[in-house]
Amino acid sequence: MKPFLSIFILFISFISSGQSFTLPELRFSYDAYEQGIDAKTMEIHHSKHHQGYVRKLNKAVSESKLENKSLEDLMMYASYRTRSVRNNAGGHYNHTLFWEILTPTIENSSPGIINNNLERAINKSFGSMENLRKELSNAAAKRFGSGWAWLVVTPNKELVVSSSPNQDNPIMDVSDVRGIPILGIDVWEHAYYLRYQNKRGDYLSAIWSLLDWGVVSKKYAAALNNPLLVKIEKENWPEINAFHKVLAQTFHAAEKGDFKPIRALSGSLYAKAILLQDADIPKPLMNPEVSLALIRLEKKCFSLNKLIVKNAKDKSLMKMISAVHDVFHEVQGLCHD
Shorter beta-carbon distance to Fe ion: residue 186 or 239: 186
Under the binding rule (CB under 5 A), the answer on residue 188 touching Fe ion is yes
What's the closest the beta carbon of residue 312 comes to Fe ion, in angstroms?
54
What's the closest the beta carbon of residue 154 comes to Fe ion, in angstroms?
24
Question: What's the rounded Cα separation, in Å, for the pair 291 and 277?
Answer: 7
Shorter beta-carbon distance to Fe ion: residue 126 or 188: 188
What's the closest the beta carbon of residue 62 comes to Fe ion, in angstroms?
23
Contact criterion met (CB below 8 Å) for 271 and 297: no
Query: What SS3 state is found at 133?
Result: helix
Using the rule CB under 5 A, give the single segment among 189-197, 204-212, 232-240, 302-310 that binds Fe ion.
189-197
Shorter beta-carbon distance to Fe ion: residue 30 or 188: 188
CA 22, 28, 30: angle at the middle one, nearest 5?
A: 85
What's the closest the beta carbon of residue 186 comes to Fe ion, in angstroms?
4
| Strand order, beta sheet including 180-186 | 159-165, 147-153, 180-186
Site string for Fe ion, 142-181 (x = CB under 5 A): ----------------------------------------
What's the closest the beta carbon of residue 52 comes to Fe ion, in angstroms?
10
Shorter beta-carbon distance to Fe ion: residue 42 or 254: 42
Shorter beta-carbon distance to Fe ion: residue 28 or 99: 99
What's the closest the beta carbon of residue 148 comes to Fe ion, in angstroms?
9
Query: How many residues of this chain bind Fe ion (CB under 5 A)?
Result: 3
Shorter beta-carbon distance to Fe ion: residue 189 or 330: 189
Residue nearest to Fe ion (CB): 186
**Residue 89 class from Cβ within 10 Å (0-12 exposed, 13-18 middle, 19+ buried)?**
buried
Shorter beta-carbon distance to Fe ion: residue 87 or 103: 87
Side chain identity at residue 260, one-letter code:
K
Q: How many other β-carbons are positioned within 10 Å of the β-carbon of residue 64? A: 14
Shorter beta-carbon distance to Fe ion: residue 168 or 186: 186
Question: What's the rounded Cα separation, in Å, for the pair 294 and 273?
Answer: 8
Contact criterion met (CB below 8 Å) for 92 and 53: yes
Question: What's the rounded Cα separation, in Å, for the pair 146 and 81?
Answer: 21
Contact criterion met (CB below 8 Å) for 180 and 152: yes
Instruction: Give CA 296 to chain center in angstroms.
Output: 31
What's the closest the beta carbon of residue 211 comes to Fe ion, in angstroms?
16
Under the binding rule (CB under 5 A), the answer on residue 33 touching Fe ion is no
Shorter beta-carbon distance to Fe ion: residue 78 or 276: 78
Helices (H), the chain: 3-15, 39-44, 51-63, 71-76, 83-101, 116-126, 129-142, 193-196, 200-208, 213-224, 227-235, 238-255, 260-278, 288-309, 314-336
Under the binding rule (CB under 5 A), the answer on residue 196 touching Fe ion is no
What's the closest the beta carbon of residue 54 comes to Fe ion, in angstroms?
13
The helix or strand, by DSSP H or E, that contains position 183, with its residue range, turns out to be strand 180-186
What's the closest the beta carbon of residue 45 comes to Fe ion, in angstroms?
6
Position among 135, 173, 186, 298 found at the interface with Fe ion (CB under 5 A): 186
Give, as ranges, the residues between 217 and 246 that touch Fe ion (CB under 5 A).
none
Largest CA distance in the chain: 78
Query: Which of 236, 293, 237, 246 minimizes the C-alpha distance to 270?
Result: 246
Contact positions vs Fe ion (CB under 5 A): 186, 188, 191
